[in-house]
Structure 1
């Protein structure tokens, strides 16, 4: 995997001009080139392609090689692009794909997609008055969208790794060991995860694996787009529901268990409205515990990337500090109940 590193916005604009002319009919130039740095694990640049009909708002997404461990678990840019196409055809709200990068573009592996209008920042979605009317509907809507993702035809999916509960627990434990992190709470959580891992489903389905408040573009009408498909794989669909319910994505609204947006019951109702099958709450709980375990390891990895100088971006340091939050959540989730 290769990645170029443009030295400036001007350098990036030169490269994006050629990309836009290939991907957007009638594109003559680009403007508004700006890097998006808000916690993204991959490289994101926003720009407008200028055409005779007006500006076309776009995003170019390409691989950022700040962590070999992170990239090892990534679906890959080609798979992400294929998933966006398939999801759109399956009724999942996603940005429209306009084209994929080529080696001669000098931007590494990636693709160009529509730049949606709306809000992705979880705290704003939960608190701003602009979302007051739609907020009560979002948990159920998210459940229905997850069900549509899980129903995408297996035969049409790009090559993806397959991992069920026990596989994923061991996979992320190995990442922690490789990274050198030593957190006793994670060792305790791993023992619980392995002892209570649900048996694999008969058929693996597509799992987004990072479906959460913060990876959704939302406007006053609801979810406009499901973003960040880099962790997608085949496995247990309950993984997405459990991950969505993590406390980390509630942004202070701790009593609203479904991403700070509503109740688990609303999320499950939205899911079942599409599948026609009740949700297995115990299975979802296991995946919620696993989500906190995975997120703690991810935070630890980003913190190490910053402290070692591998990635000096302040976003890595900011996320790295959140590892302790996940340790506390694991203690809460696994504490004996009277």
Structure 2
């Protein structure tokens, strides 16, 4: 569980300074007063206490105990993301209707899932969600990991029904361009294998669709080895589902400042759970190998690699 009070999610900076400079609040008490006022005026919710506020980049997550239960209030000051945040927040209600365990936003008194409000230092995009009760995924629990894989497949099936507009260039082209312009040479043998696999890659079946794009331990809540919540849809993109599965396999074990490669056995459990719901076809299986290798190489932080990302590829 995240600490009580004011803290940073991953950045090594003083949270009081970040709260003031980024959002204009003179401490946790001032933020609590603002949240209490806007929840009362906009949502008709009465706040009792405010135990926790966490800052992540241009975003903040605020926990509140209220007459509507335990809530999280999420806001962002990044105006360039406001439109995509509107879309990802609206997506949650649709996914819940399809049986995906997500935190459905509490509507405002006007029936809106997310609104833009004036904060002390500028406009903020704000949404309110119920707290989901569960623990972050423990990758040593292989039953839970298989359940997470099955949940990811169910999520992909649900997202397939959602409209998808913008999409990136083809995977083959992106990886080829990266090998020329983006590869830092931190794992030359792995990069050589990637070139060989890419040269023999089949055509990838199926159209790109919306995918989660950040499916990992910190965004999967578990209770009794079952998935009770999938969090953080702010990074949803249009991509092939197998790309999302491969990315999840590489980053599944990461949490905030604790970034370590996912053990091979854990990756196998995640994929097995996924394929129990949505089996990969032959082309997807070939691309899965390519994409896990590519994502693994890209995850290497540099010459200083104490977590062993390079040895994991």
Fold-level similarity (TM above 0.5): yes
Listed as ranges, the gaps of 5+ residues in structure 1 are 128-134, 259-263, 301-320, 334-338
Shift of 1:237: 0.8
Q: 1:307 matched to which residue of 2? A: none
- How many residue pairs are counted as aligned between the two chains? 275
Query: Does residue 37 of structure 2 align to residue 29 of structure 1?
Result: no
Shift of 1:142: 1.5
Q: Deviations over 1:218-248 (max 9, x none)?
A: 2235222112223221121112221222277
Shift of 1:255: 5.0
Shift of 1:157: 3.7
Identify the match of residue 153 of structure 2 among 147, 150, 175: 147
Richer in helix (by share): 1
Shift of 1:81: 0.5
Q: Deviations over 1:5-40 (max 9, x none)?
A: 433212212321233225645x22342242225xx4
Q: 1:47 matched to which residue of 2? A: 63
Q: 1:61 matched to which residue of 2? A: 74
Contact in 1 for aligned 2:250/2:262 (Cα 8 Å): no
Q: 2:3 matched to which residue of 1? A: none
Contact in 2 for aligned 1:138/1:223 (Cα 8 Å): yes
Q: 1:267 matched to which residue of 2? A: 270
User: 1:270-281, aligned counterparts within 5 Å?
Assistant: 270-275=273-278, 280-281=284-285
Query: Does residue 31 of structure 2 align to residue 12 of structure 1?
Result: yes
Q: 2:162 matched to which residue of 1? A: 156
Q: Distance in 1 between matches of 2:117 and 2:177?
A: 31
User: 1:1-338, aligned counterparts within 5 Å?
Assistant: 4-22=23-41, 24-25=43-44, 27-37=45-55, 40=56, 43-51=59-67, 56-63=69-76, 76-98=84-106, 99-104=113-118, 108-120=124-136, 125-126=138-139, 135-152=141-158, 154=160, 156-157=162-163, 159-162=165-168, 164-166=170-172, 169=175, 183-185=184-186, 193=194, 196-197=197-198, 198=201, 199-246=203-250, 249=253, 254-258=263-267, 264=268, 266-275=269-278, 280-296=284-300, 324=305, 328-330=308-310, 332-333=312-313
Listed as ranges, the gaps of 5+ residues in structure 2 are 1-21, 107-112, 255-259
The 1:255/1:155 distance shift into structure 2, 3 A limit, reads closer
The 1:222/1:153 distance shift into structure 2, 3 A limit, reads closer
Contact in 2 for aligned 1:213/1:244 (Cα 8 Å): no
Contact in 1 for aligned 2:162/2:210 (Cα 8 Å): no
Richer in strand (by share): 2
Q: 2:110 matched to which residue of 1? A: none
Question: Normalized against structure 2, the TM-score is what?
Answer: 0.69
Q: Distance in 2 between matches of 1:283 and 1:109?
A: 38
Contact in 1 for aligned 2:216/2:251 (Cα 8 Å): no
